[in-house]
Amino acid sequence: MKKINIVLLIVLVLIIGGIAIILNFHVANPGKEPVQVSLEDMTLEEKVYQMMVISASDIKDDTITFGGVVYFKKDIETLEGIQSKLAAAQKGKKTPPILAVDEEGGRVSRLKDLYPELGQTPLPPMAEITDDGTETGAVLADVLAKVGFNTDFAPVADVGQESAAIGDRAFSTDPAKTAIKVVGVVTALESKNIITTLKHFPGHGSALADTHEGLSITDKSRESFEAVDFIPFEAGIAAGADMIMTAHITAPALDPAGVPATFSKPILTGILREELDFEGVIITDALGMGAVAEKGTEGSIQAIEAGVDILLMPLDYEATKDAIIAAVKSGRLTEERINESVMRILQMKANHGMI
């Protein structure tokens, strides 16, 4: 047989094999997408763990498949070391986890020490960048991809105002300029298949106290939020941002009940979902922060009731899992509500080729 005929035969076999795989999937799962099949293959416990992103150093059982793992400076000593950890985090997992890091640039840069080895110069604070966000985003994307992260808890979409906790992490004190740079970073990261996260909704810029330490309340009006703080988030949503991280701030003008936004259904479901039409994943800020830590497992349940999909670093993930399952069994939460969040998480992963 001539060489060209052998090549054609091999190609034909591969094509037929591929068609067979597709047909077998649809015969076994008629009318179902892979994401739906993945959901139906999960136990309730697996679904609940899919709704958590846990700090790498807090994981006590490597057999659990969490929705994701987040890494901090203490986890990142050498390039080879972190690459090995990222590979290990994915090994044997039923559903690939998001591998996340807070890599904003400036004072929030967990990978700063690796930049020279990766051929990049560490980024300045976002308030000091002079491009429209595209070049900055390209640097972030290059570094993240080379290290092996698939998720960035960035960009900051807060408009720089009075908050010292945000300060020079914000692109600008002008909402329009902030929006432009948010779009630039989101677009650059997404072009390299990095999951992006706008933070911290509904806008931390005017809340003076640092929510890492305790409660932070803003007396800003609803009109001011709409004219200033929401603008960059709307732009980032339109640009295709995958996730939005909540702020633990309290904004009575948006929710008269006076609860932190992380637990506020009027803010997360009423405004973010219904008014701003965000269909992606809502993730909390870290649940061990001073503003919310005292709520414990109850806070995680309240966050889900408010519309949250992913719980970031609950203080005790086993106790949190048990509390959520108990809430489902008691009827306080429904499994359908859990499924809604897990479907969003799985779809996000599928959109980035992880499923």
* Residues in CB range of 242: below 8 A, 6 or more apart: 190, 195, 196, 197, 280, 281, 348, 351, 352
Alpha carbon distance 243, 183 (integer Å) = 14
Alpha carbon distance 190, 161 (integer Å) = 28
Type of residue found at 47: K
Tell me how many helices (H) and strands (E) the chain has: 12, 10
- Quote the tokens at residue 128: 């000091």
Type of residue found at 129: I
Q: Is 52 exposed, middle or buried (0-12, 13-18, 19+ CB in 10 A)?
A: buried
What is the residue whose two structure tokens read 């969040």?
Answer: 341
3-state secondary structure 97-147: CEEEECEEECCEECCHHHCHHHCCCCCCCHHHCCCCCHHHHHHHHHHHHHH
158 counts as catalytic: no
Let me know: does 262 contact 300? Beta carbons within 8 Å: no
Characterize the bridge pairing of strands 98-101 and 151-152.
parallel
Residues 102, 242, 255, 285: which is the catalytic one?
285
Residues 210, 212, 316, 352: which is the catalytic one?
212
* Active centre residues (catalytic): 212, 285
